[in-house]
Amino acid sequence: MNWPDLSMGGYGFYVWGAYLFSLFAIVWELVSLSYRKKAQAQEKTSRQVLRGNANETTS
Amino acid sequence: MNLYKYASPSNFYPLAGKLIPWFATPAAILFGVGLFVGFFIAPPDFQQGDAYRIMFIHVPAAWLGMFLYVLMAFYAAIGWAFNARLASMMASSISITGAMFTFLSLVTGAFWGKPTWGTWWVWDARMTSTLILMFLYIGFISLQSSIDDPRRADRAGAVLALVGVINVPIIYFSVQWWNTLHQGATLRLLGKPSISGSMLWSMLIMLAACWLYSVAVVLIRVRCIILEREQNAARFAEVTI
């Protein structure tokens, strides 16, 4: 096992830049998916509440 | 076991939920192993030094960008030809991950190009055709989101996806058909790979990790799409009744 030279032989900006960008892209995808799921859950809850209110007013 | 029952979104929804951890967990492990092999075991390249390590994310991203486009077009075609709702939903779900990997391949390629070619970007055949692939993904996503009726959106998207699939062999063979800055194929089906041991293993492990990650994310997103379309249908029914 070789400990990698963090400066990547002078190419650190390019190598770490590429991996950091990839990490951001993956995190962005996962975070946007979790927001999408949360928004769905909220909409489901609000629709249930609205339906409940509608039932109360009509009964 | 009747597998056809999983063609129904309502039956596929719980199955997808069960499958997600089986893809997400190995993906996380393989990302760790691939990066370990790539950074701690693989030696520096004799010409490019450590700059070549960008390959471990660039090549899997580029392969997945192309492969996911073909898969998206396949699902879109199935959805269009057989009116299979789940297949169209899968195509929509794949498009965002495919676009993300294509974008990643372009950006990581620019990061690799600057130290090795001396430029961030050139209009060579492979880079230009990959940029066109990115635009095709963006076009597919924009087209689908601009049409309110999901069935019409699926059909329109399918036409674009099928027309655009011609670009994938152009990307793949561009290094053979034209003079480009890009090197030829590193891996061949019948020949010996042009890179050695630990470098090859790291790339293959990262490819497997990206592939498993894609499956997990596509399954999570398709579950969202199934729910959204059901909610929209329910809302429409409430309004019309």
Does the beta carbon of A38 lie under 8 angstroms from any beta carbon of chain B?
no
The residue in chain B having the minimum alpha-carbon distance to the alpha carbon of residue A18 is B108
Supply φ then ψ for residue B45, to 5 degrees.
Answer: -75, 145
Given this model, what pLDDT does residue A54 score?
65
Question: Which residue do the tokens 């010996």 mark?
Answer: B192
Residue B240: count of CB within 10 angstroms of its CB: 6
CA atoms of B26 and B57, how far apart (whole Å): 17
Tell me the sheet residues that pair with B49.
B45
Phi-psi region of B23 (alpha: psi -120 to 50; beta: other; left: phi over 0): alpha
Centroid of chain to Cα A53: 33
| Close Cβ partners of A15 (under 8 Å, ≥ 6 residues apart) | A8, B50, B51, B53, B54, B111
Interface confidence (ipTM) of the complex: 0.87
For position B236, what pLDDT does the model report?
60
pLDDT of residue B229: 86
pLDDT digits (tens, 9 = 90+) for A17-47: 999 999 999 999 999 999 998 988 887 787 7
**B30 in Cβ contact with B205 (< 8 Å):** yes
Tell me if A15 and B53 make a contact (CB, 8 A cut-off).
yes
Tell me if A14 and B112 make a contact (CB, 8 A cut-off): yes
Q: Is A35 on the interface with B (CB under 8 A)?
A: no
CB contact under 8 A, A4 and B49: no
Task: Say whether B224 and A2 touch across the interface (CB within 8 A).
Answer: no
Indicate yes or no: CB of A9 within 8 angstroms of CB of B51. yes
Cα three-residue angle B183-B187-B193, rounded to 5 degrees: 100
Counting as low any pLDDT under 50, the low residues of chain B are none
Chain A residue with minimum CA distance to B221: A33
Flag whether residue B181 sits within 8 Å of chain A, measured between CB atoms.
Answer: no
Chain A: residue whose CA lies nearest to B228? A40
B/e letters for B40-58, b = 16+ CB within 10 Å, e = fewer, are: eebebbeebbbbbbbbbbb
User: Rounded to two decimals, what is the model's pTM?
Assistant: 0.89
Q: Does A50 touch chain B (CB under 8 A)?
A: no
Q: What is the pLDDT of residue A59?
A: 54
